[in-house]
Amino acid sequence: MDIENIKKELKLEIDKERYNHTLRVVDIAKRLALVYRIDEKKVELAALLHDCGKYKDIDVLLKKVEEFGIILDIISKNNHHLIHSHLGAEIAKKKYDIVDEDILNAIKYHTTGRRDMSILEKVIFIADYIEPERDFDGIEDIRKLAFEDIDEAIIVSMENTIKYIIDKGLLIHPNTISTRNSLILLRNKNRRSWSDRQ
Ligand SMILES: [Fe+2]
Ligand SMILES: [Fe+2]
């Protein structure tokens, strides 16, 4: 399916607010793609489809999960916000004919992240986090950081998310912890190899 047809279909599936959010994510993801030198078409497809499973009505969402035979882990099952990314990856594959595993993973892990994310996964994750309508303390710093050091931007966003989840008494998905840990390990490794060279 080409971009224009995906857009037409998406408009029918997700609500207007979600669709407009999607277009903002596409825009920022494309700008990040230039900085991190990733294929623009891949980024556009992943960003366009990242919320294709985000049905507002929980009953519709759960019905789709069943329809697509998705097996959810216990944390995702108990947090409806996490379900749409798993569902989205399946819909992207079966309905929108996406076969590229990197695009499918970028959709699947855009809410929690995961360890050793690809650059496309990172771009979709952070584009969703910093799109222009997002507004919270420290957002401007993360927006700037996203274009300079995407790993650091993701570490900060994971830390914000973990703090928020704890404040609200919600469940933390292990992938959120793994994302932060893997990026901090990478940061430490890079700093060590930098100081070895001095
Ligand atoms: Fe989402
Ligand atoms: Fe989103």
Ligand lying nearest the CA atom of residue 17: 2
Q: Is the pLDDT of residue 194 over 80?
A: no
Would you state the pLDDT for residue 185?
Answer: 95
Tens-place pLDDT, residues 66-89: 999 999 999 988 888 899 999 999
Confidence (pLDDT) at 19: 97
∠ CA(50), CA(41), CA(88), 5° rounding? 20
Ligand nearest to the CA of 26: 2
Question: In degrees rounded to 5, what are phi and psi of residue 42?
Answer: -60, -45
Q: How far is the CA of 50 from the centre of ligand 1 (A)?
A: 6
Question: Which tokens sit at 173?
Answer: 């998905």
Residue 159's pLDDT is 96
Distance 132 CA to ligand 1 centre (A): 15
Ligand 1 centre distance from Cα of residue 190 (Å): 31
Give me the CATH number covering residue 143.
Answer: 1.10.3210.10
Ligand nearest the Cα of residue 111 is 1
Q: Count structural domains, the chain.
A: 1
Mean pLDDT in residue range 12-25: 96
At 198, is the pLDDT very low, low, confident or very high (cuts 50, 70, 90)?
A: confident
Apex CA 174: angle with CA 168 and CA 179, to 5°? 100
Q: Percent of the chain scored above 90 by pLDDT?
A: 87
Q: Hey, is 114 helix, strand or coil?
A: coil
Q: 190: CA distance to ligand 2 center in Å?
A: 31
pLDDT digits over 120-175, tens only?
999 999 999 999 999 988 999 999 999 999 999 999 999 999 999 999 999 999 99
pLDDT band, residue 1 (cuts 50/70/90): confident
Q: What is the pLDDT of residue 178?
A: 96
Please, which residues have CB within 8 angstroms of residue 101's CB and are 6 or more apart in sequence?
Answer: none
Residue 50 Cα to ligand 2 middle (Å): 6
- By the 10 Å C-beta count (0-12 exposed, 13-18 middle, 19+ buried), 58 is classed as exposed
**If pLDDT is split at 50, 70 and 90, which confidence band does 94 have?**
very high
- pLDDT of 81 reads 86
Average pLDDT, the chain: 95
Residue numbers of the domain that contains 64: 3-196
The confidence score (pLDDT) of residue 5 equals: 95
Residue 185 Cα to ligand 1 midpoint, Å, equals 26
Which ligand is closest in space to the CA of residue 133?
Answer: 2
Mean pLDDT of 83-96: 96
Contact yes or no for 36/150 (Cβ under 8 A)? yes
Residues in the chain: 198
Task: Say what the pLDDT of residue 195 is.
Answer: 78
- According to the model, what pLDDT value does residue 59 have? 92
Ligand lying nearest the CA atom of residue 19: 2
The Å distance, Cα 93 to ligand 2 centre, comes to 18
- Name the packing angle between helices 119-130 and 16-35 (round to 10°): 130
Q: How many CB atoms lie within 10 A of CB 69?
A: 7
- Closest to 14 measured CA to CA, from 45, 54, 49, 48: 54
